[in-house]
Structure 1
Amino acid sequence: MSNNQKVILIGDGAVGSAYAFALVNQGIGHELGILDVDKNRTEGDALDLRHALPFLSPKKVYSAEYSDCADADIICITAGTAQKPGETRLDLVTRNLKILKSIIDSVMATGFDGIFLLAANPVDILTYATYKWSGFPAERVIGSGTSLDTARLRQTLAEKINIEAGSVHGYVLGEHGDTGFIAWSNIRIGNLPIEKWIPDFTDQAKEDFRVAVRDAAYSIIEKKGSTSYGVASALARITRAIFRNENAVLPVSAYMDGSHYGIEDVYLGTPAVIGREGINTIAEVPLNEKEKAELTHSANTLKKIIADSFTPLNK
């Protein structure tokens, strides 16, 4: 891989433009190309972002073409049709796969040899499709996974007990979607289990909390049409970990090859060590029996979608 610290963003909608702004505002990377079917939008966004540079750090920002992908370090794909009110992420599969296939074919034709970072939904399935269509090793195809879900968990829990969110440790695992779940057995706040902070935290209360975290996206979509800032910040964090070779433990959508959780041939949200080459290793979370069953259910849900919809992936 090159070390240009060059990102090509494909998809300049709400999530893509927020990600671009996060990269510029946080000084992540040296070069950012923005690519979308709407060329006027990418030109406008690039110009607008360049006008922010005098307040920040130098960076090359421009409206890109597919030819610019050849020497990129990261291709971040946020392109796809938006999730509509009342629609699950899995409902997006058919139409977003068609968009993704065209993108992957165009990128691979340039000789790109970096890291794919996916955020378009349903992210676990589209990341799996990218892995299959690109032929890349699994560690260089990463989905945003449960990074946003985990952030929502930590922030919501922090607000509940009036604690700073950075002191809340734990993960949402599995699908970025309806079958994702909170691994309550591993939640720690200031290194203390959740029961030390909320003694009356019943199973029903935990389930109500899970539903609130899971459905946060639906509430935001209903109110403003789309989610953007949270996932864009998650993508920026993953990008920073790659460029700075941080070996940071982050919850992402990673490929299960059978050596972790007893699950294989599917992408799932799990903590993983992220560095310059992508996913260095999966940080498997110890789960109780109930949580193991929930993770297996999440994997099987995604596998069924793959089996029903992705015959071309298995050829």
Structure 2
Amino acid sequence: MKNRVNRVVLVGTGAVGSSYAFAMLNQGVAEELVLVDLNKEKSEGDAMDLNHGMPFAPSPTKIWFGDYSDCGQADLVVLCAGANQKPGETRLDLVEKNTKIFKNIVAEVMGSGFDGIFLVATNPVDILTYAVWQFSGLPKERVIGSGTILDTARFRFLLGDYFNVDTRNVHAYIVGEHGDTELPVWSHADIGGKPITKIIEENDTYMQEDLDSLFLNVRDAAYHIIQRKGATFYGIAMGLVRLTKAILHNENSILTVSAYLDGEYGQQDIYIGVPAIVNRNGIRDVVELELTEGELQKFGHSADVLRKVMQSVFGNQ
């Protein structure tokens, strides 16, 4: 008889965290979901509210407001706590505030005897994922950041819209920092197996200028959304659920996450957004795409920007 269940602990039930919890319940991904937050009343209310939707869920999920001791039996701890990006702020502006918050959170989680996988969503996600790896002492493959999973989704959505095809048949990646220095990998973007570069060569309806403009909308999407509604949370919540499924269901899915590089793409000792194979053990492998010279240069620049900020926090590693 099976007596082991999949337990996910969510730390931080703000807009992103509560949207993640709602999407988790709707998709029936885990058997247990624990909500942990400093704002006890709000999180207790979230747990009650979610439980009242249980009769409509695809499968039962035990949901409760808990504490860090619940992490001891968790398979996955999802970190959505921390200060949010405000209008006019970049993700990198949040680094000092959120690194301090995370040092305390990770100490509490590891103090419970936790031996699972960390999934980090808080910005700046690449730097905070590195911080969680440092603070936790866990192997690098068991600390994963949401990376460019949302940027890639935005990219695929806008490309599908531009070419009038189902976004799920668009295969394209955004890599690099989850932020202002990210880049599109045009050399490996395709629709139904046909390279996008070939499609625009053969059809005058489509132009590279449009695609360049489309990428800028991907890169700056968060700023546009924050300006209009104060925060982004639905898209990233669904991306986190996608990652949770890949981990708990041992899918070996390729997703653009913030992964530790140890020589891949010519980079060392850094967490940054790249395609990686994700399964029950975390990151199985980083997928090393053959980038063009221009793409590799832009990727190197993105890594350099992250490294400079990291050095201000961690010193020279």
Task: Please report the TM-score for the alignment, with normalisation by the length of structure 1.
Answer: 0.96
- Find the residue that maps to 2:55 and give its secondary structure: helix
CA distance in 2, matches of 1:149, 1:169: 13
The answer to whether 1:64 aligns with 2:66 is yes
Aligned to 1:243: 248
Equivalent positions of 1:140-289 (< 5 A) are 140-199=142-201, 204-258=209-263, 260-289=264-293
Aligned to 2:125: 123
- Find the residue that maps to 1:261 and give its secondary structure: helix
Equivalent positions of 1:18-57 (< 5 A) are 18-56=19-57, 57=59
CA distance in 2, matches of 1:85, 1:198: 36
CA distance in 2, matches of 1:89, 1:196: 35
Equivalent positions of 1:287-298 (< 5 A) are 287-298=291-302
Conserved 8 A contact 1:3-1:73: no
CA apart distance, 1:196: 3.8
Moved more, 286-295 or 197-206: 197-206
Equivalent positions of 1:79-94 (< 5 A) are 79-94=81-96
Aligned residues: 311
C-alpha distance 150-206 of structure 1, shift in aligned 2 (>3 A): same
- Find the residue that maps to 1:41 and give its secondary structure: helix
CA distance in 2, matches of 1:204, 1:54: 50
CA distance in 1, matches of 2:277, 2:140: 13
CA distance in 1, matches of 2:71, 2:24: 18
CA distance in 2, matches of 1:53, 1:275: 28
- Find the residue that maps to 2:73 and give its secondary structure: coil
The answer to whether 1:13 aligns with 2:1 is no
CA apart distance, 1:175: 0.4
CA apart distance, 1:4: 2.8
Conserved 8 A contact 1:147-1:234: yes
Aligned to 2:76: 74
CA apart distance, 1:262: 1.2
Which residue identity does 1:59 align to in structure 2? T
* Gap regions ≥5 residues in structure 1: none
Deviations 1:281-303 (A, max 9, x none): 11111100000001111111100
CA distance in 2, matches of 1:58, 1:91: 40
> Alpha carbon RMSD of aligned pairs, Å?
1.4
Aligned to 2:109: 107
CA apart distance, 1:210: 1.8
CA distance in 2, matches of 1:248, 1:206: 27
Which residue identity does 2:86 align to in structure 1? K
CA apart distance, 1:97: 0.8
CA apart distance, 1:206: 3.5
Which residue identity does 1:266 align to in structure 2? I
Conserved 8 A contact 2:170-2:190: yes
CA apart distance, 1:198: 3.0
CA distance in 2, matches of 1:193, 1:147: 21
CA distance in 1, matches of 2:313, 2:250: 36
Percent of aligned pairs with the same residue? 51
C-alpha distance 3-66 of structure 1, shift in aligned 2 (>3 A): same
- Find the residue that maps to 2:13 and give its secondary structure: coil
C-alpha distance 48-91 of structure 1, shift in aligned 2 (>3 A): same
Aligned to 1:98: 100
CA distance in 2, matches of 1:152, 1:3: 36
- Find the residue that maps to 1:198 and give its secondary structure: helix
CA apart distance, 1:207: 3.0
CA apart distance, 1:209: 2.1
C-alpha distance 68-153 of structure 1, shift in aligned 2 (>3 A): same
CA distance in 1, matches of 2:56, 2:83: 33
CA apart distance, 1:202: 5.2
C-alpha distance 175-86 of structure 1, shift in aligned 2 (>3 A): same
Task: Please report the TM-score for the alignment, with normalisation by the length of structure 2.
Answer: 0.95
Which residue identity does 2:60 align to in structure 1? P
Deviations 1:221-249 (A, max 9, x none): 01001000100000000000111101111
Deviations 1:253-299 (A, max 9, x none): 000011x1111110011111111100011111110000000111111
